[in-house]
Structure 1
Amino acid sequence: MKRTLATAAGALLAITAVTLTVPSTAQATEVSTGFHVSDGRLLDANNKDFVLRGVSHAHTWYTARTPQALKDIKALGANSARVVLSTGDQWTKNDTADVAAVVAQCKASRLVCVLEAHDTTGYGEAGAAAPLSRAVDYWKGIKSAVEGQEKYIILNLGNEPYGNTGYENWTSGTAAAVKSMRIAGFKHTIMVDAPNWGQDWSGTMRDNAASVFASDPDKNTVFSIHMYGVYDTAAEVQDYLNQFVSRKLPIVVGEFGDAHSDGDPDEDAIMATSQQLGIGYMGWSWSGNGGGVEYLDMATDFDASRLTTWGNRFFNGPNGVKETAREASVYKDGSCHVSYKLSDWGSGFNADVTVHNTGTTAIKGWQLRFLFPSVSSVDAVWNAELSQEGSSVQVTNTSWTESIPAGSSVNFGITGSSSASANEVPSSFTLNGVTCTTG
């Protein structure tokens, strides 16, 4: 939902229970090289269950804020970020280079990146909104920025693609858009939003999700419900989410808040039910809301040290991010072990360092960080490049030690001097931001 300029117009209608049979194709027919759906669950490229616990960030309006925002979101415990992009139909287009930079920033922060095209918000009711076909055109145009990144990103086809007018077209329009994406060669998990400004008060997505899933040639579609005023009781939250889980259809709460102008959503029930069912949720939003919905900011003026009541609840409360988020296993592909053999002769030392790649994929380009326990200075280094600031040391690869295949290692040496009476082995090492085992 575009919180900066518009709010939901969803009516508070009861959700009618229905029973549908899921087609036998609900299980993925082949294992993807990236995120994929199997038996109603979202799995990562290592076939590990992955439960989204993330935050939306309004990148398209705050591009300069994105690198730090992603770092802060990660530091608070999230495993994912939903990044708002523009197709150029309503706001300034986020082009291929910009999207590629966002993907790189998400990966640097070890976040799964849910990229979302926002210009479809409220199509059929909001006059300037673009149809899903325009979102498909956008994804085709920036394909090179996301191709090959299926392990790290999910494509949220179009934000809230139908308002409260014309929502009857959601089923055919969504199925057609997903098929167009597959024909264009996209192998990513595709997340599709509900109609009715994302809230599906009409039950359109609920009643037709099985047929939309079955129409995806890759069987790799995830459904996203946005929970605001329509979901102001625990019973409504539980009923809606359980109907997907019981039919083994993948569902996430793609947006929700702790308050809204169309009613007061039950955020406690949303988070508790999601945790109970093992499904993902993503809160709206990090910072920068306007148009009367500033109360949806989680951080005051993008300052992670000034969380709002909503932000503190989301990250630190019961069933919140800090308590329930688990990092995607694909980021553990960089697992490492460091062997640091010290030869100490009082005022000087020599260290023979071996970095082992204990992950499942090759590491290409590496940076090892550690702290000298005593006041030391490096006189020489071989098989690596080294920089030092005080006791902080950063070692990077040379051209001939750039790659560390899975199960292999590289070795480098250090000669240094010290003002301490004895030198010691550093207590911890991080490789590309991952803490390594030692010994």
Structure 2
Amino acid sequence: MRLRHRRVRSSALVSAAVMATVAMAPAPVMADRNRGADGGSWTSAWGAALHHPVPPLPWTWPGWSWDGFTDQSVRQVVRVGAAGAQLRIRFSNRYGKQPLHLARATVARAGEGAAVRPGSVRELRFGERDGAVVAIGAERYSDPVRMRVRPGERLTVTLYFAAATGPVTFHELGLTTAYRAAGDRTHHTSGDAFGETSGSHYLLSDVEVRGVRNEGGVVAFGDSITDGYGSTPGTDRRYPDRLGERLLADGRRLNVVNSGISGNALLADSPCFGDKGLTRFRHDVLDRAGARTAVVLMGINDIGRGGLPDSGCGGLPAVSAEQLIEGHRALIRAAHRRGVTVVGATLTPFKGYAAYYTPRKEEVRDAVNDWIRTSGEFDAVVDLDRVLADPRPGRGDEMAPAYDSGDGLHPSDAGMAAMAAAVGEHLP
């Protein structure tokens, strides 16, 4: 039987520390803000939460972040969720160790694999120049490009780096194929030269659109469950993708951006899994163009990895329900100061995931979920714990087999669809 706890009262000391963490979260340097020179508003139509480059480790995904690029072109496919008559792209050197020299960049309509549709290639310029230098810790927007896009359309961004970049800012769990080729291939429509592949996103923070009326954006904020681990790669079946499709089918012009990072924790940084949620919430949620609602699903890694040995990506201390509750309260306050609505999601079942589960950790999850359900501090609540829980008697702390990807922690495609349906019912 699941243990239930009374609401945990806040500690003034914990609250002050958490508030200070959010207040001091660093903001990257950007070339401009969310409004264009002519006053038109931008909306993030696709985005990724970025983190430090990761050295090769036995259990990490193969990738290019650590070595970076030299005289190479990187081609990446993104699926936009909002319509627009113009677009611009935000590039990030947030975690770079040297200035990033982007020699040339293009955007085009995606074809099959690494190919792009002939006649669709558009040069991306920066202050009317071909390339750009992005300072350490900074971000840079391209100039606006006239290009009409539709929700659900796939675009291909090709970047060419003539000089060595060093390790680059990236998003590891892309679940979408990126391609690499030698030399400048930014204007090549064929994908034949792109013989190397990766499953990550590199240096791309946002694709923003304007010129068509949109309601704004929903930002899904979380860890690997939000990031889509457990869903089928290359099929856009993460729960934020399915949520965006649902809203579009319902006639809503409300885009969904995925700001999940696999392995991410709310209260602790990791050299592999990104800045803690308290730090990155401002950049990855509140600074997204057009963001009006955040869906927060965070804390299972704090609980599950808390107290375990360091596997090479930083250990996490054991956490209490009170600490996680104060962390969520800090996110709510930060969002409300910016006029962003916050939907709280209960933490999903994890008893079947042996690496995380203990009865004591289950008590912490139950206490946090009880607060999310009953405190009234979120603007709305979606009970993903109950959506995904096994309905069989005595199995409520486990994920339902129909929704389990196989590891007892991460939902399958069907589980992602069930999450999207539940979240969609609770959006303002």
Do both share a fold (TM > 0.5)?
no
Q: Taking CA–CA contacts closer than 8 Å with sequence separation of 6 or more, which of the two structures ends up with the larger relative contact order?
A: 2
